[in-house]
Amino acid sequence: MSAVLELTDETFQKEVVDAGVPVLVDFWAPWCGPCRAVSPTIESLAADYQGRVKIAKINVDEQQAIAGALRIQSIPTVALFDGNKVIDAKIGAMPRHEYTAMLDRALAKRAN
């Protein structure tokens, strides 16, 4: 079982905005090659950061309301939320260290 949470338009508020912890959200689609390339990295981040942050994915083809509201124009977009605010984001497939840097900065800010 994956530690990555599958989001829907209906669960976004509860699982991301009201989470109480930073949430890394991968906006993706099944036909997107770079999205599929990022997927194993997202899975490994979920395992490595379990209990400290939430890691989630949202299929922009199936869940268009949130992607539209957030003006997601390119995928993959990996956005880090703290409450209802995007505090960091990367567009396109990035190496793992780009995502860990986002998460580590957010956790360091929360610790202070």
Domain CATH number, residue 100 = 3.40.30.10
Q: Point out the residues that are catalytic.
A: 32, 35
Nearest-angstrom CA–CA distance, 79 and 90 = 6
79 within domain boundaries: yes
The tokens of 87 are what? 């505090």
Q: What is the pTM of this model?
A: 0.94
111 within domain boundaries: no
Looking at residue 2, its pLDDT comes to: 65
Is 86 in a helix, a strand, or coil? strand
24 within domain boundaries: yes
| pLDDT per residue as tens digits for the range 60-94 | 999 999 999 999 999 999 999 999 999 999 999 99
Question: CA dist 50 to 2, 45, 63, 66, 68, Å?
Answer: 11, 8, 25, 24, 28
Looking at residue 52, its pLDDT comes to: 93
Looking at residue 36, its pLDDT comes to: 95
112 within domain boundaries: no
Range of the domain at 30: 5-106
Q: Is the pLDDT of residue 1 over 90?
A: no
Domain count, the chain: 1
